[in-house]
Structure 1
Amino acid sequence: MTAVSDRPSTMEKSHEDARVNLPYLEDRLLGRWKDLRNIARGFARDPRIQRDPSLPMEQHRERVLEQLKILVTEAQVLRAFPERLGGKDDAGGGIAGFEELVAADPSLQIKAGVQWGLFCAAIHHLGTAEQHDRLLGAAMRLEVPGAFAMTEIGHGSDVASIATTATFNPETQEFDLHTPFRAAWKDYLGNAAKHGVAAVVFAQLITGGVNYGVHAFYVPVREINKDGSAGAMLPGVSSEDDGLKGGLNGIDNGRLAFDHVKVPLENLLARYGQVAEDGSYTSPIDSPGRRFFTMLGALVQGRVSLDGAAGSASKIALKTAITYGNQRRQFTGASETDETVLMDYQTHQRRLLPLLAEVYAGHFAHDSLLDLFHAVFSEEGMDTPESREDLETLAAALKPVSTWRALHTLQTAREACGGAGFMAENRLVQLRQDMDIYVTFEGDNTVLLQLVGKRLLSDYAKQFKGIDGINMARFVIERAGDTVLYKTPLNRAVQSILDTGSKRRSASELQEETTQRELLSGRVEAMVEKLAADLRPAFKMNQADGAALFNDHQVELIEAAKAHADLVQWEAFTKALTTIEDTETRTVLTWVRDLFAFTTLEKNLAWYLINGRLSAQRAETVTSYINRLLARLRPHAQDLIDAFGYDDDLVRATIISGVEQERQDEARGYFRTQRASGDAPRSEKSLKKTKR
């Protein structure tokens, strides 16, 4: 029996009949670049573009290369590039289209990203206008397939420490590009094993005996055959094939090494660093650190694209699992005759609906990221050091959570579909394999979250820049009082008294937007403040001791960055709700936002309890209210996943093509007819009841 305090309030009852306006929501979710997304999805429905799962690796690679050629001639893949070279100067639109290609084949999406999002983008963002005119056009048209040679097997995400060198010789007006040892080989490079005829190579620029740090060079690596295909390796360039991988086998990943290869001065991509004929070095950015991060920041679009593509993969997975769960029946607990639909089980809802809420939060956060990316690279006056730093931080926060989420969602969806989820024809296993590498490339997720954590600490420190001693003392006293309050039982006791006998009041307060914001933002602030206090002694330590102290708090730094990512997604979702004009749709989406907030709180209940931010009773309310939200959202689950617009031709999972519903209808019809005819055999249990 339901307790009185747990019954829906009058306001909740008035919303019980709320319905999602599906056409409206689908249109809203397509967002700013709706037309371009629809065009890209149209191509993803084209059998010529889709993956053929029967192909072995070599044929898969060649098929993906041919698919890129189709995109060049038929799709709008050049939108991000300058109009004078055939583009549209539309950075955001370019990314929006690319990330939709994951529905066709993740290998296609990533190989396209290698060619246009990395190789071409490096020439575009790091090169000069003269270099654009000379090098970019052929690369854009795929006449020059290229590799992006940054990662070295010995340093991975530590780009600043790469060992490849480019030493300038004023007498020959050339750089000597050299790989000094095996760990300096460039590795995991798309297009390096077979198809690439040039590469943008990152190396330590040395001139006049001074190392000016990592710079990019345009380097031919293979001959071009008469038919336009890649030919023999050029002198001094070595290549190896990475071979069969755990996923993305439509991409010819490989290794490159350079044995004193001569690179002409004109092939230094010179937007941020120039070398004169006499060997002197100049740069518009004096700080070596800022110069390095500016050059890498210009290539942030890879992370932006991965964030969007990971979200698309999660949507496809949930479309499969929720649709199947609404058709598949199992066990007759609620009826003597009919089996129960899987989505009616609370455990199934617990598996899938919180992930659906996370995917919605990630979707709206990605919209914000894409807007910022477009502003920085396509809107006049927006490309500032501050906006680039914001973009880099936001991408570094969202790419880890979305790619990890994609793996978790695909695995959960696979399990939720039982044995059918393991069948290749339903794509979940293959998508899971292909998405695995997303958590590592374009920046290892853990390393990216360290970047976010350091930015949080940096912003925290800026609060005190120029503050005098009196105001600093006042700040410390205020914070100390706040900390004492949260760390003693006093706050928990007061909260428990307020909550006693009124679970509904507890849940009602936690539903409030201001309460959710305070809980989520308060966690970030408290974690950053504690980290800052713990790390403050490092400024007076020697380098080794300071590094050891930082290492001792590295896990806390990552947790603070994750908490920040949770807050960013919640804020994006909450902001998006204000733009939903259809009242009933907004009501349902508000429940989805609340589910995201409550499940985020539930995952971190230990922190909230230990730090006195929630009482035990209110913590208990979190879980019980999640269950109420699951029941409330269950009737809307199909509409909410359908609203993302991934139809059967994009999902391509046999189990949601109608065959499962046909099986279920046939089975129910068979037993219904059998019962009506009187031919149904009696059960053994009913026979025993009769004997009694």
Structure 2
Amino acid sequence: MTELADRAAGQTRTTAAAASAAAQAPSAAPAGAVHPAVDVAALGEQLLGRWADIRRHARALAARPELHKIEGLTHTEHRTRTFGQLKVLVENDAVHRAFPASVGGSDDHGGNVAGFQELVIADPSLQIKAGVQWGLFGSAVNHLGTGEHHTRWLPGIMSLDIPGCFAMTETGHGSDVASIATTATYDPAAGEFVVHTPYRAAWKDYIGNAAADGLAAVVFAQLVTRGVNHGVHAFYVDLRDPETREFLPGIGGEDDGVKGGLNGIDNGRLHFTNVRIPRTNLLNRYGDVAADGTYSSPIASPGRRFFTMLGTLVQGRVSLDGAAVTASKLALKTAIQYATERRQFSASSRTEEEVLLDYQRHQRRLFTRLATTYAASFASEQLLQKFDDVFSGRHDTDADRQDLETLAAALKPLSTWHALDTLQECREACGGAGFLIENRFASLRADLDVYATFEGDNTVLLQLVAKRLLADYAKEFRNVNFGVLARYVVGQATGAAIHRTGLRGVAQFVADSGSAQKAALAIRDEASQRALLTDRVQTMVAEVGSALKGAGRLPREQGAALFNSHQNELIEAAQAHAELLQWEAFTEALGKVADPGTRVVLTWLRDLFGLSLIEKNLSWYLMNGRLSMQRGRTVGRYINRLLAKIRPHALDLVDAFGYGPEHLRAEIATGAEKARQDEARDYVRAQRAGGQAPVEEKNLPARTAPRGQETPRG
């Protein structure tokens, strides 16, 4: 079973060894450690991960004012500025890492993505435009082309002499790449491919660098030779004259115009009318056409060939995953910093207003998202390491590539959705100040909005994950004998009977003896959290797998209808699986924390993440008999206890992200609010001390009105 299959299936069963290890894991402060403290420096180093030095270099670069987004520019001004910023990246050796040493690169695929993920700090438009140029256009030439292509084009791509486009998406087909309509038909008499968009829906759309800057493109089209369509392949196509910047004959396009965000990127549309390119412009690592039109490929299966070609481009999803985590960290650092300074309402004192972060609801809003951000950060690092292992060649089997694809498809949706949710919640938690562009929440929220749908629509990606989970589930029983299968069915029936009759809930209640304290101890235990999270994934996958059993033998229309009727459950199972991966990544990271105090605080944060997931899906756990009502009621109470424990360490936890004022660039995170609050408090105190404070009307002694002048009552 492959690595990811082990996670998908194996981790959904709590082994005795895992339970034993979990029982020994720290879940409370060690003896004598009444007030644990966070080692901010050590935690910050752990969060930086394997490519810490590259991240530091990228952050230093992102702190430079010439790379910062200037709010209020027109979209044409923003585009000009962003293109100029790409040259700064070239001058500072920030774009070469992933390319081959033969052309001046360093073959460092993980380090390359780690650096690009941090560019969102400066301006998301810069990060994405850099990603288009080097992570998509350049990467396609690098991974889909061969040595000749590398020598011919990569130096110019790296130096920005050849700004380029990644022309895959069409107006009529986004996520369904296999169905794109642009064709590249081989003409053996001329030794050329003829690239053509047969109708309007086949135009390449939303293409970065297409509206103004792109001189060339990697165009994805259906390769047709000798009357046979061999599926989607990639072709290098020159778009514009380098001198005039006008489209070459047969090529046209439009500007997509102003967007909801990322307006530093010149997205546009491209179309081709019988555009002829040399046969050697086919990026032919996985499929080639000889001079006589004969097609050949090292991969016999068309389906496998297609997914292999697209798999080489997974770094876009890996990059977005990490960039989204970075944006969440920026937002939480700003919002939590502000919440420790901003005061509002005098609930517990007649003279002092409350700090926002002391309100339980404020803690709920921010700390639960802080816990998720930590989980997403540790999972993102694991994804990046897996990506580097595959692309470096250290672990590059078909199984490894499938695992990487599935892991990226699982984590990218969660981190991008989480970033949007976190930015919005942090904006609201900062009130009107959060809505000001100077504090960046609204701007980042707008720029990251499209992260949820490009490099793969999040919902479609989760469906891919679900299909992988079903495939792994099916493998479990493909070759088992009747006796094993019968025992499994009996076990499933017994388990279902226990859950549905509520026997498990009764057993839990008896074990807890009605004690909220015992129930809390049970759900905060690492093994219990793992069991609840894994059981949900396993049950959901098994139920859908059973419902879809035999779908492949049905007529196509009926099989599709059956699959569609369970699509929602499939996607929910995939999301539960991805959340489990994040929880496991957090738990694994805990094992690497040396400082006892830091480990205690991070354990609280991990528990907050795990219990928040359980609380979010509490109805499922109750309806399926996985939790008793006693324990169900305890979940929310224990979360509130965790919030209080985490409160003294909140600033340390966001300081460990390692972002300074030059990265945040938010006025409310500069200490200005604290200065204002201190000034106000000093003023009021001086008034009181000097006897100059006016008396509040409500504090005046009650006066008795003269007879006959009583206040009339209605």
Smaller-chain TM-score range? over 0.9
Q: Which amino acid aligns with 1:402?
A: S
| Residue of structure 1 equivalent to 2:71 | 53
Task: State the TM-score, normalizing by the size of structure 1.
Answer: 0.97
Match of 2:407 among 394, 401, 423: 394
Deviations 1:403-438 (A, max 9, x none): 000110000010000000111111110100000000
Describe the SS at the equivalent of 1:437. Answer: helix
Deviations 1:47-84 (A, max 9, x none): 01111113211111010000001100113221011111
Q: Which amino acid aligns with 1:515?
A: S
Describe the SS at the equivalent of 2:335. Answer: helix
Aligned pair 1:367/2:385, yes or no? Answer: no
Measure the CA separation in 2 of the matches of 1:656 and 1:139: 39
| Residue of structure 2 equivalent to 1:200 | 218
| Residue of structure 2 equivalent to 1:6 | none
Summarize the Cα distance change of 1:665–1:222 in structure 2 as closer, same or farther, 3 Å threshold: same
| Residue of structure 2 equivalent to 1:3 | none
Measure the CA separation in 2 of the matches of 1:465 and 1:519: 27
Q: Which amino acid aligns with 1:678?
A: G
| Residue of structure 2 equivalent to 1:4 | none
Q: Residue 11 of structure 1: CA displacement?
A: 5.7
Q: Residue 469 of structure 1: CA displacement?
A: 2.2
Deviations 1:276-304 (A, max 9, x none): 11111111111111111110010000000
Aligned pair 1:247/2:265, yes or no? Answer: no
Describe the SS at the equivalent of 1:408. Answer: helix
Describe the SS at the equivalent of 1:88. Answer: coil
Aligned pair 1:104/2:122, yes or no? Answer: yes
Measure the CA separation in 2 of the matches of 1:586 and 1:415: 31
| Residue of structure 2 equivalent to 1:454 | 467
Measure the CA separation in 2 of the matches of 1:401 and 1:243: 29
Measure the CA separation in 2 of the matches of 1:236 and 1:691: 94
Summarize the Cα distance change of 1:166–1:388 in structure 2 as closer, same or farther, 3 Å threshold: same
| Residue of structure 1 equivalent to 2:530 | 517
Q: Which amino acid aligns with 1:617?
A: Q
Describe the SS at the equivalent of 2:118. Answer: helix
| Residue of structure 1 equivalent to 2:87 | 69
Deviations 1:639-691 (A, max 9, x none): 10111011111010011112111100100000011111111111112213688
Measure the CA separation in 1 of the matches of 2:500 and 2:314: 40
Q: Which amino acid aligns with 2:688?
A: R
Describe the SS at the equivalent of 1:194. Answer: coil
Aligned pair 1:578/2:582, yes or no? Answer: no
Summarize the Cα distance change of 1:10–1:270 in structure 2 as closer, same or farther, 3 Å threshold: closer
Measure the CA separation in 2 of the matches of 1:691 and 1:352: 50
Contact 2:28 2:600 (8 Å CA) reproduced: no
Contact 2:203 2:269 (8 Å CA) reproduced: yes
Q: Which amino acid aligns with 1:177?
A: V
Describe how 1:530-569 pairs up with structure 2 within 5 A: 530-569=543-582
Describe the SS at the equivalent of 2:175. Answer: coil
Q: Tell me, which stretches of 5 or more residues in structure 2 are unaligned?
A: 1-26, 706-714
Measure the CA separation in 1 of the matches of 2:593 and 2:340: 27
Name which of structure 1's ranges 443-452 and 51-60 shifts more when overlaid on structure 2.
51-60
| Residue of structure 1 equivalent to 2:632 | 619
Describe the SS at the equivalent of 1:151. Answer: coil
Name which of structure 1's ranges 394-403 and 230-239 shifts more when overlaid on structure 2.
230-239
Measure the CA separation in 2 of the matches of 1:663 and 1:585: 33
Contact 1:40 1:75 (8 Å CA) reproduced: no
Q: Which amino acid aligns with 1:451?
A: L
Describe the SS at the equivalent of 2:477. Answer: coil
Deviations 1:490-548 (A, max 9, x none): 11111122223311111111111111111111110000000000001313311001100
Contact 1:149 1:189 (8 Å CA) reproduced: yes
Contact 2:96 2:105 (8 Å CA) reproduced: yes
Aligned pair 1:237/2:255, yes or no? Answer: no
Measure the CA separation in 1 of the matches of 2:638 and 2:28: 16
Q: Residue 15 of structure 1: CA displacement?
A: 4.5
Contact 2:611 2:635 (8 Å CA) reproduced: yes
| Residue of structure 2 equivalent to 1:5 | none
Describe how 1:67-216 pairs up with structure 2 within 5 A: 67-216=85-234
Measure the CA separation in 1 of the matches of 2:522 and 2:299: 50
Match of 2:484 among 471, 474, 479: 471
Contact 2:29 2:36 (8 Å CA) reproduced: no
Contact 1:44 1:100 (8 Å CA) reproduced: yes
Measure the CA separation in 1 of the matches of 2:521 and 2:703: 51
Describe the SS at the equivalent of 2:142. Answer: helix
| Residue of structure 1 equivalent to 2:712 | none
Name which of structure 1's ranges 483-492 and 98-107 shifts more when overlaid on structure 2.
483-492
Measure the CA separation in 1 of the matches of 2:345 and 2:266: 47
Describe the SS at the equivalent of 1:200. Answer: strand
Measure the CA separation in 2 of the matches of 1:437 and 1:389: 25
Name which of structure 1's ranges 584-593 and 506-515 shifts more when overlaid on structure 2.
506-515
Q: Residue 489 of structure 1: CA displacement?
A: 1.7
| Residue of structure 2 equivalent to 1:497 | 510
Match of 1:317 among 321, 327, 331: 331
Measure the CA separation in 1 of the matches of 2:67 and 2:84: 9
Describe how 1:301-380 pairs up with structure 2 within 5 A: 301-380=315-394
Measure the CA separation in 2 of the matches of 1:337 and 1:690: 25
Describe the SS at the equivalent of 1:217. Answer: strand
Contact 2:51 2:114 (8 Å CA) reproduced: yes
Aligned pair 1:44/2:57, yes or no? Answer: no
Describe how 1:599-678 pairs up with structure 2 within 5 A: 599-678=612-691
Measure the CA separation in 2 of the matches of 1:31 and 1:688: 65
Q: Residue 134 of structure 1: CA displacement?
A: 1.1
Summarize the Cα distance change of 1:13–1:336 in structure 2 as closer, same or farther, 3 Å threshold: farther
Let me know the Cα RMSD of the aligned residues: 1.4
Describe how 1:417-456 pairs up with structure 2 within 5 A: 417-456=430-469
Deviations 1:196-240 (A, max 9, x none): 000000000011111100000000000102xxxx71100001110
Q: Residue 10 of structure 1: CA displacement?
A: 9.1
Q: Residue 470 of structure 1: CA displacement?
A: 2.5
Q: Residue 336 of structure 1: CA displacement?
A: 1.0
Name which of structure 1's ranges 537-546 and 588-597 shifts more when overlaid on structure 2.
537-546
Q: What fraction of aligned residue pairs are identical, expressed as a percent?
A: 59
How many residue pairs get aligned? The number is 679
Describe the SS at the equivalent of 1:536. Answer: coil
Measure the CA separation in 2 of the matches of 1:664 and 1:476: 65
| Residue of structure 2 equivalent to 1:481 | 494
Contact 2:593 2:599 (8 Å CA) reproduced: yes
| Residue of structure 2 equivalent to 1:217 | 235
Measure the CA separation in 1 of the matches of 2:520 and 2:31: 15
Contact 1:15 1:587 (8 Å CA) reproduced: no
Deviations 1:172-209 (A, max 9, x none): 11111000000000000000000000000000001111
Measure the CA separation in 1 of the matches of 2:295 and 2:638: 63
Q: Residue 13 of structure 1: CA displacement?
A: 8.5
Describe the SS at the equivalent of 2:65. Answer: coil
Contact 1:197 1:222 (8 Å CA) reproduced: yes
Q: Which amino acid aligns with 1:190?
A: G
| Residue of structure 1 equivalent to 2:16 | none
| Residue of structure 1 equivalent to 2:709 | none
Contact 2:82 2:125 (8 Å CA) reproduced: yes
Name which of structure 1's ranges 457-466 and 412-421 shifts more when overlaid on structure 2.
457-466
Describe the SS at the equivalent of 1:48. Answer: helix
Deviations 1:351-399 (A, max 9, x none): 100000000000000010000000000143x111100000000000000
Measure the CA separation in 2 of the matches of 1:443 and 1:159: 10
Measure the CA separation in 1 of the matches of 2:702 and 2:610: 50
Q: Which amino acid aligns with 1:512?
A: D
Q: Which amino acid aligns with 1:90?
A: D
